[in-house]
Homo-oligomer: A and B are copies of this chain.
Amino acid sequence: MDQTSRTLTAVGLGPGDPELITLKGLRAIEAADLIFVPRSRDGGLSYAERIVSGYLRPAQTVIRLPLPMVRNADELVPAWESAADAIVSAYEQRGATKGVYLLLGDPLLFGTFIYLAERIPVRDAYMQIDVIPGVTSFAATAAKANFTLATTDDRIAILPASYETDLPALKALMQQFDTVVFLKAGTVLAQLLAAVDELGLTATSIYGEKVGMPEETLETDVSVLAGQNRPYLSLLIVRKPETNA
Contacts and interface: CB of A to CB of B under 8 A. Distances in A.
A131 interface: yes
27 contacts: A18-B23, A19-B24, A22-B23, A22-B135, A23-B23, A73-B152, A108-B139, A109-B142, A109-B156, A110-B149, A110-B152, A117-B146, A131-B146, A132-B143, A133-B135, A133-B139, A133-B140, A133-B143, A134-B135, A150-B158, A152-B160, A153-B159, A154-B160, A155-B157, A155-B158, A156-B159, A157-B177
Contacts of A140: 133
Given A14-B22, A19-B24, A23-B26, 5 more contacts: A110-B149, A133-B140, A136-B136, A153-B164, A157-B157
Contacts of A147: 108
Interface residues of A, number: 53
Interface on chain A toward B: helix, strand, loop, or mixed SS? mixed
A17 interface: yes
A122 interface: no
Interface in A25-59: 26-27
Interface of A: 12, 14, 17-24, 26-27, 73, 106-110, 114-115, 117-118, 129, 131-136, 139-140, 142-144, 146-160, 163-164, 177, 245
B106 A139 contact: yes
Contact of A135 (B135, B149, B156): B135
Copies in the complex: 2
A20 B14 contact: no
A243 to B, nearest CB: 11
Contacts of A27: 19
A108 B156 CA distance: 12
Contacts of A129: 146
A10 B163 CA distance: 34
A151 B21 contact: no
A117 B132 CA distance: 30
A60 to B, nearest CB: 19
A27 B18 CA distance: 13
A78 to B, nearest CB: 17
Contacts of A23: 18-23, 26
Given A24-B17, A139-B109, A153 B160 contact: yes
B148 A114 contact: yes
